[in-house]
Structure 1
Amino acid sequence: MKQKGTNKKLKISLFILMGILLVLFFIPTPYYLNQPGSIESLAEKVTVEDGDKTEAGSLNLTTVYSIKASNPYILLYGLLAPHTEIKEEEEVKGDLSDQEYNSLLLHMMDTSKQNAIIASLHAAGEKVEYQYNGVFVAGVLETSKAKSVIHVGDIIHKVDGNEFTQATDLIAYLKGKKAGDKVEIEYTHNNKDKKATVEMIVLNKQTGQVGIGISTENNMSIDPSVNVKINSDNIGGPSAGLMFSLEIYNQLEDDDLTKGYKVAGTGTMDAEGNVGQIGGIKHKIVAAHKADVDIFFYPEDNYKDDTNEKEIKEEVAKEGYDDIEIVPVSTLQDAIDYLEKLPEKE
């Protein structure tokens, strides 16, 4: 009888344990896991009108694999898995909803592609016309009086009857206001024209800077002399700009930039051909090393707050990556010049 009672208690304990483990599966955590992602050939993603895709080597973009730790088991995996960075959800996407965050990433990718086309065509001596079409709302502060009115993804066209096509001009105009002032904003939300009156707030108590309480990006359209199609699939963000630009340029030019080398890299690109800083760079160099990349381009640290060059050098030294050439660049032309001077790979 005693043995029978013990077995029954054991079965109950196991049942309770299984119940707890099942419940844990549905408990979300406020964390994201970032890991080295994929290396993807750009010749398969970029098509230039009358361009030449023949390459002895390859130009590749690099990605960071980001996954939401939707339960404690995924978080535990992140704690044990190598080359995994755990970040709080707020650090990754602020107070944006998943839909707003995805909308922002897609906009940044679209802008990255447009800038890549502009910069690469200019580098190749081709013409491309472009214009700015209002100011994209990339974020709204919790303290903003516009919080329930303006949303991520909206396009601001006018403030107080004044038309604004670039974010810098809008910010400059608002600097002339003071806290408590009200401005009338004309904007597009879900393809519908709207108006709203918003009160200005103090953004920085130390400097006294005021504003609406939104972060902004430029919204543009382009008309290139050469048709370029870029298939970015489900990749978001702006960090593929440099490598998009190199692939477009390579297809436009007669000579093959790759010269037999497997080339990868990362960095944002603006319309003037300048390379900018990105996030998650240490994951990208790990992915590049795993894929046997020969040369890796990355943004050079040119300003006080820049960290990409420091981060990548630390990661390379820590991991002992002696078989990959890391090359800092500040412009698209820097990367082109480097590749043009390379000897053919033996």
Structure 2
Amino acid sequence: MKRISKRIKITFFILFILIIVGFIPTPYYLYQPGTTEDLTAMVNVEDGYIDEKGNFYLTTVLSIEAGNIYYLAYGLLAPHTEIKKATEVRSDLTNQEYDTLLSFMMRDSKQNAIVSSFSEAGEDLHMENNGIFVYGIAEQSKAKGILKVGDIITEVDGTKVSERNEFINYIEQNKEAGDTVSLKITRNGKIREKTVEIIPFGEESNRIGLGITPEEDFIIDLARQVELKSEDIGGPSAGLMFSLEIYKQLVAKDLTKGYEIAGTGTIDHKGNVGQIGGIRHKVTSASLQGIDIFFVPKDLSELDSNEKNALDEVEKGGYDLEIVPVATLAEAIKYLENLKEK
């Protein structure tokens, strides 16, 4: 009886330890191939064309916060899973700042997609800038603790600013390292005033600035209304595919030619396609979903790797997937217009 009692105690002790360990958070995220989403159901252009033989899709990456060691163990065993440190994912941003950033990225991506596709289709639109969105703050920036990701700068030293280059040029032409600048910002709907010191960018550079990543926050007025549904999808990487679906509905052409076409890439309002994260997971997702053609951002510099990694992933996985690198929306449209019917 004593032996049985001792075994029971040991068993309960082990279970207790396992339960306690299960509540200890880990500083990791798991990344896996996500879904491919049919854009016809997500994009609605007023009087838009939707009669097509094939389809356009956006691709996602599934991000899971490894809340405990068991999630982490799952990530070590699950196929097509990448483990990243939390600092790689969201740097030192708070949960609220990170969520705000993701929301802005998706909203900005949608608006850039609308502007670029309307411009490419020759449709009327009007843009109005609200100010400078604080997209990121460098570790060495004096703005750290004063500004927050998600702030919108509307005035610099009493001068209204709404364009990124206008903001950067004002500081470079009127300030020196060590000077301060007075900012009027909007945060959570409230107007505030902040003072930030200017810093130099590296010993070998004459550049100065606030040490923040500025982006334009703008609204658009359209001749034809556009509804974009993204639900729980965050980030900017759906920009290119949103643009293609909007453009197709505007010009009333079946650009798919009967193919299942997916892709990824950021888009700016001039139609330039930018690099994204998680390209290998998106390639795998597209292949598993039977996609025929996959657009990726073209590698334009030594630092770019989307095109290279996408081609490598197709070769490694033996996927039957056509990778098409593009640098602009216009390039993607030209490829589709020259595509033969399936």
TM range (shorter): over 0.9
Match of 1:77 among 43, 61, 74: 74
Matched AA of 1:287: S
* 1:137-168 deviation digits (Å, cap 9, x = unpaired): 12234443333332111100111122221223
Displacement, 1:175? 3.0
Displacement, 1:208? 5.5
Matched AA of 1:207: S
Counterpart Cα distance in 2 of 1:63 and 1:272: 24
Q: How many residues align?
A: 341
Match of 1:111 among 108, 113, 125: 108
Aligned to 1:43, what secondary structure does the other structure show?
A: helix
Counterpart Cα distance in 1 of 2:339 and 2:48: 22
Counterpart Cα distance in 2 of 1:65 and 1:340: 32
Change (3 A) 1:86 1:57: same
The runs of at least 4 aligned residues of structure 1 exceeding 4 Å deviation read none
Q: Is the 8 A contact 1:186 1:195 kept in 2?
A: yes
Q: Does 1:160 align with 2:157?
A: yes
Counterpart Cα distance in 1 of 2:62 and 2:204: 38
Q: Is the 8 A contact 1:118 1:224 kept in 2?
A: no
More deviation in 95-104 or 125-134?
Answer: 125-134
Alignment identity in percent? 52
Query: 1:36-115 residue pairs with structure 2 within 5 A?
Result: 36-115=33-112
Matched AA of 2:325: P
In structure 1, stretches of 5+ residues that fail to align are: none
> 1:20: which partner in 2?
17
Counterpart Cα distance in 2 of 1:152 and 1:221: 19
TM-score w.r.t. the length of structure 2 is: 0.96
Q: Does 1:7 align with 2:4?
A: yes
Match of 2:211 among 213, 218, 233: 213
Matched AA of 1:153: G
More deviation in 167-176 or 118-127?
Answer: 167-176
* 1:50-77 deviation digits (Å, cap 9, x = unpaired): 1121221110000000111111110111
Query: 1:226-265 residue pairs with structure 2 within 5 A?
Result: 226-265=224-263
Matched AA of 1:256: D
In structure 2, stretches of 5+ residues that fail to align are: none
Counterpart Cα distance in 2 of 1:148 and 1:340: 50
> 2:123: which partner in 1?
126
Aligned to 1:156, what secondary structure does the other structure show?
A: strand
Query: 1:135-174 residue pairs with structure 2 within 5 A?
Result: 135-174=132-171
Aligned to 2:41, what secondary structure does the other structure show?
A: coil
Q: Is the 8 A contact 1:109 1:237 kept in 2?
A: yes
More deviation in 287-296 or 255-264?
Answer: 255-264
Counterpart Cα distance in 1 of 2:9 and 2:172: 67
Q: Does 1:336 align with 2:325?
A: no
Change (3 A) 1:208 1:21: farther
More deviation in 16-25 or 286-295?
Answer: 16-25
CA RMSD in angstroms, aligned pairs only: 1.4
Query: 1:263-278 residue pairs with structure 2 within 5 A?
Result: 263-278=261-276
Matched AA of 1:214: I
TM-score w.r.t. the length of structure 1 is: 0.95
* 1:77-135 deviation digits (Å, cap 9, x = unpaired): 11111111111111111110111111101101111111111111122121111132210
Counterpart Cα distance in 1 of 2:284 and 2:247: 26
